[in-house]
Amino acid sequence: MVSAYVALGANLGDAAATVRWAIERLALLPKTTLLACSSLYRSDPVDAVGPDFINAVVALRTALSAIGLLGELQGLEQLAGRERPYHHAPRTLDLDLLLYGNDQIESPGLSVPHPRMLQRAFVLLPLAEIAPHRVVAAQLQAVQSQRINRLERQAHAGMPDAGPRCCMGALS
């Protein structure tokens, strides 16, 4: 079993609802347990166009391989109706595999750690919230100019057996 961290982002339709739906689906992946999820955050689009993004990061414990987990993430993106009409298009749901244990992976379809994660406040802040040991202060400082707001935390009754640390940001 390996600890893996996945970043979620959405900026089309009801983005918060899509992110909450995706977290619930991640909890149901085969050979996988959802250990923790961050608050929801609202951020400016980076490398993308359209409305603000809703973001979160989850921690998983999984017996899936990294490539198997990526396949599951891509399946969820498809289920959420993601289309890729052009580069940087707004997205219904974007799921990125940030970390897979301490593995370093460079294959044609998968780079881990995610190559752009250190440039993005919308990844580092939620990751630091649930896994402070995986982010250092200098990394947070490097992205502090990026606009990002943590949304109010609220326990989510529908969460499957994910433990007390798994809470959802509530949009008010």
Which residues are part of the catalytic machinery?
82, 91, 94, 96
Yes or no: say if 8 and 93 are a contact pair by the CB < 8 Å rule: yes
Q: Which is nearer to ligand AMP, 84 or 133 (CB)?
A: 84
First to last CA, the chain: 37
CB of 44 to ligand AMP, least distance (A): 17
Yes or no: say if 98 and 5 are a contact pair by the CB < 8 Å rule: yes
Asked if 78 touches ligand AMP (CB under 6 A), the answer is: no
CB of 118 to ligand AMP, least distance (A): 13
Rounded distance, CA 8 to CA 43, Å? 12
Q: Which is nearer to ligand AMP, 74 or 149 (CB)?
A: 74
Angle (deg, nearest 10), helices 15-26 and 66-79: 140
Asked if 129 touches ligand AMP (CB under 6 A), the answer is: no
Yes or no: say if 47 and 91 are a contact pair by the CB < 8 Å rule: no
Per CB under 6 A, the segment of 27-35, 93-101, 142-150, 154-162 that binds ligand AMP is 93-101
Per CB under 6 A, the segment of 10-18, 94-102, 129-137, 164-172 that binds ligand AMP is 94-102
Q: In angstroms, how far is CA 81 from the centroid of its own chain?
A: 17
Tell me which residues touch ligand AMP (CB under 6 A): 70, 94, 96-97, 109-112, 114
